[in-house]
Amino acid sequence: MTRLSTEERFWAKVDKNGPLWNGTPCWLWLAYKDAGYGRFWLSPNLIQAHRFAYELLVGPIPEELQIDHLCRNHTCVNPAHMEAVSHRINNLRGNGLGAQGARKTHCPQGHSYDLLNTYFWQGGRHCRACGRVAALKYWRKRG
């Protein structure tokens, strides 16, 4: 019985006919997944499949960088759909609460988050105009 190489084992678990992104198909990981990401057994470790594909076809990933799925498909292992970016950039491109908040350009009342109308307090971004209204309400209520 012939033993498959690591690369042959890896590619046997990939479907290169996934949905199109930017004109090219996602290469879908078909084997084990954990938290939405493909995982590949590379003895003695279980590694992320997209990182393996990226390093195999593009090159080493600098230690301080992460792989961002530009296609937003976490099972995709097509390196053309990936970019090595900082942790901050990767998070800001995502859909988490921090990323959603960072993309907001106006407060809930419609005031612009600009240099003059924005202040930062306790890790959050706040509107000065709304703060003035709230303070005025507070002081009027106190009498």
**Domain co-membership, 51 together with 6:** yes
Q: Residue 116: give the domain boundaries.
A: 104-143
Residue 43, classed as helix, strand or coil, is coil
Residue 82 CA to residue 61 CA, distance in Å, equals 11
Helix (H) or strand (E) holding 140: helix 128-142
Q: What pLDDT was estimated at residue 82?
A: 97
**Domain co-membership, 16 together with 30:** yes
The total of other beta-carbon atoms located within 10 Å of residue 76's CB is 27
**Domain co-membership, 99 together with 126:** no
Distance in angstroms between the alpha carbons of the first and the last residue of the chain: 89
- Which pTM value belongs to this model? 0.72
User: Are 42 and 32 contacting, i.e. CB atoms less than 8 angstroms apart?
Assistant: no
Q: What pLDDT was estimated at residue 2?
A: 81
**Domain co-membership, 27 together with 90:** yes
CATH number of the domain within which 78 lies? 3.90.75
Digits of tens for pLDDT over the chain (143 positions)? 788 899 999 999 999 999 999 999 999 999 999 999 999 999 899 999 999 999 999 999 999 999 999 999 999 999 999 999 999 999 889 888 878 888 899 999 999 999 999 999 998 889 999 999 999 999 999 87
**Domain co-membership, 16 together with 58:** yes
Report how many domains make up the chain.
2
Residue 73 CA to residue 18 CA, distance in Å, equals 10
**Domain co-membership, 87 together with 117:** no
The length of the chain is: 143
Residue 143, classed as helix, strand or coil, is coil
